[in-house]
């Protein structure tokens, strides 16, 4: 066991070299996005300055309620460091205690707490370690580092402690930041999953409701057929109705499968203008026969965006087809604009605006249009709706971490805004 820190030099004040190393250390940690490598780097620096040949860094595992070993220096075989340490183990327990309880011979404060050495806490010796450093954030011990170096006495010890305290605090900040980030990520995933389950539940209920009508007519036809088999009018009319009902059920099943199939977007770098144009090409003929003019205003300064091409095409096709439906036979225009959005923090988003001059959406319906099976196209002879189009649109936009907004003036028209972040790989 070394009793002298490798650096800083043996005088009692930190050297310029130490500050340079501290700066590099702080920059290194700041750039890290994974707790594993971050723990390794932090422990390596603490061991070097503390003059330790063996050591470990333990991180609080909130899910399992223990501290898990995230990094080690030296050979773990030579120490008695377990993979996990219980929350109420004497070492973490004492490290999170208020400072007054801890022996007063340490001069440096570690975020309001103090380091422990073997003379303070015999449980350290049982782990083969000589010094324990707390990493405390907002009053919680989020991690701790153990070093096997025996502490030098006197002024020198105070200086090493002060340096360790600075390094430990830098490490604490970095660990805290990544833990928060991981928590956020986990809750985001959880939310996505519960969202899905909730909407699938609604869908299952809606589906049962939707197929009941067509099933009833199919059943009636089968029941009546034996006695009316010689009535050609009955057979002709009812066959047509029943066939329509079967198509309707098929269409519902297709759309539900589209929605229910979990589609993690397959991101590729795409040109949003290109996707919009290709969707407009599909609806061109239909628009023409209805006397609808299409106006396209595509921004030329758009970055390529990471997205799932097939899914995003489905978004715009659904929006464009709804717009055509809303304009009936009276004609009108469909204007599609793309635009660059500069968001705070230098983030770049791309916006696609779909504006139609259709019948508009009554205020009371606006909050329901994204609900599964909400449709006003039950009676319109030309086209029956399933009410799943906008549900799917919403789902896909959400999967791309985008936003969708709608504005509508009944009798004048409707505008949908789809904002997509320029995601990076």
Ligand X SMILES: Nc1ncnc2c1ncn2[C@@H]1O[C@H](COP(=O)(O)OP(=O)(O)O)[C@@H](O)[C@H]1O
Between 18 and 370, CB nearer to Mg ion: 370
Nearest 10 degrees: Cα torsion 63, 172, 89, 147: 130
What is the Cα–Cα distance from 240 to 234, expressed in whole angstroms? 10
> In 138-194, which ranges are E strands?
140-147
Binding mask 263-302 for Mg ion (x = CB under 5 A): ----------------------------------------
Between 174 and 369, CB nearer to ligand X: 369
What is the Cα–Cα distance from 275 to 292, expressed in whole angstroms? 21
Min CB(24)–ligand X separation in Å: 55
Min CB(386)–ligand X separation in Å: 5
**Which residue pairs, CB below 8 angstroms and at least 24 apart, start in 22-25?**
22/166, 22/167, 22/170, 25/167, 25/170
In which residue are the tokens 């099933």 written?
215
Q: Total binding residues for ligand X by CB under 6 A?
A: 22
Q: Are 397 and 404 in contact (CB under 8 A)?
A: yes
Tallying the residues shown for the chain, one arrives at 425
Q: Are 56 and 39 in contact (CB under 8 A)?
A: no
93 binds ligand X (CB under 6 A): no
CA distances for 85 relative to 60, 90, 91, 144, 392, angstroms = 9, 10, 9, 11, 47
In eight-state DSSP terms, residue 381 is S
What is the Cα–Cα distance from 180 to 107, expressed in whole angstroms? 30
210 binds ligand X (CB under 6 A): no
414 binds Mg ion (CB under 5 A): no
Q: Which partner, Mg ion, ligand X, none, binds residue 375 by CB below 5 to 8 Å per kind?
A: ligand X
322 binds Mg ion (CB under 5 A): yes
Site for ligand X in 278-337 (CB under 6 A): 318, 322-323, 326
Between 332 and 387, CB nearer to Mg ion: 387
> Phi/psi of residue 74, each to 5°?
70, -170
Binding mask 354-393 for ligand X (x = CB under 6 A): --x-xxxx-------x----xxxx-------xxxxxxx--
Between 198 and 251, CB nearer to ligand X: 251
| Half-sphere CA count of 380, side-chain side, radius 13 A | 13
Between 172 and 354, CB nearer to ligand X: 354
Sheet holding 55-61, edge to edge: 84-86, 66-73, 55-61, 140-147, 131-137, 116-117
Min CB(311)–ligand X separation in Å: 16
Q: Which partner, Mg ion, ligand X, none, binds residue 377 by CB below 5 to 8 Å per kind?
A: ligand X
Min CB(252)–Mg ion separation in Å: 13
Q: Which partner, Mg ion, ligand X, none, binds residue 71 by CB below 5 to 8 Å per kind?
A: none
In which residue are the tokens 């015999």 written?
122
Min CB(331)–ligand X separation in Å: 15
Site for Mg ion in 353-392 (CB under 5 A): 389
Residues that bind Mg ion (CB under 5 A): 322, 389
Residues that bind ligand X (CB under 6 A): 318, 322-323, 326, 356, 358-361, 369, 374-377, 385-391, 414
């Amino acid at each position: 066991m070394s009793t002298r820190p490798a650096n800083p030099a043996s005088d009692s004040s930190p050297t310029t070299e130490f500050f340079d190393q501290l700066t590099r250390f702080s920059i290194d940690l700041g750039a890290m996005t994974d707790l594993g490598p971050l723990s390794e780097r932090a422990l390596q620096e603490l061991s070097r300055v503390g003059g330790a040949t063996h050591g470990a860094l333990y991180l609080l595992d909130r899910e399992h309620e223990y501290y898990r070993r995230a990094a080690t220096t030296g050979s773990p075989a030579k120490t008695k460091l377990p993979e996990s340490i219980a929350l109420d183990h004497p070492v973490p327990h004492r490290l999170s205690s208020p400072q007054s309880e801890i022996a007063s011979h340490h001069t440096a404060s570690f975020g309001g707490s103090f380091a422990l050495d073997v003379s303070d806490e015999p449980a350290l010796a049982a782990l083969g370690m000589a010094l324990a450093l707390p990493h405390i954030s907002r009053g919680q011990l989020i991690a701790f580092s153990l070093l096997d170096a025996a502490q030098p006495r006197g002024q020198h010890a105070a200086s090493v402690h002060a340096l360790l305290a600075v390094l430990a605090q830098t490490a604490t900040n970095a660990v805290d930041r990544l833990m928060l980030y991981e928590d956020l990520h986990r809750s985001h995933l959880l939310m996505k999953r519960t969202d899905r389950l909730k909407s699938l539940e609604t869908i299952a209920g809606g589906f049962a409701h939707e197929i009941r009508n067509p099933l009833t007519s199919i059943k009636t036809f089968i029941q009546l057929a034996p006695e009316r088999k010689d009535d050609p009018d009955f057979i002709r009319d009812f066959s047509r109705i029943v066939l329509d009902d079967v198509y309707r059920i098929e269409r519902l099943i297709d759309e539900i499968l589209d929605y229910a199939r979990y589609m993690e977007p397959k991101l590729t770098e795409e040109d949003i203008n290109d996707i919009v144009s290709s969707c407009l090409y599909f609806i061109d003929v239909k628009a023409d026969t209805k006397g609808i003019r299409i106006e396209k205003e595509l921004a030329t300064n758009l970055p390529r965006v990471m997205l799932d091409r097939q899914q995003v095409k489905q978004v715009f096709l659904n929006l464009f087809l709804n717009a055509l439906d809303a304009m009936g036979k009276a004609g009108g225009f469909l204007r599609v604009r793309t635009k660059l959005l500069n968001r705070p923090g230098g983030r770049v988003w791309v916006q696609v605006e779909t504006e139609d001059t259709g019948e508009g959406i009554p205020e009371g319906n606006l909050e329901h249009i994204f609900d599964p099976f909400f449709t006003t196209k039950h009676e319109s002879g030309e086209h029956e709706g399933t009410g799943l189009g906008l549900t799917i649109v919403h789902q896909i936009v959400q999967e791309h971490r985008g936003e969708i907004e709608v504005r509508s003036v009944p009798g004048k028209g409707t505008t949908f805004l789809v904002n997509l972040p320029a995601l990076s790989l």
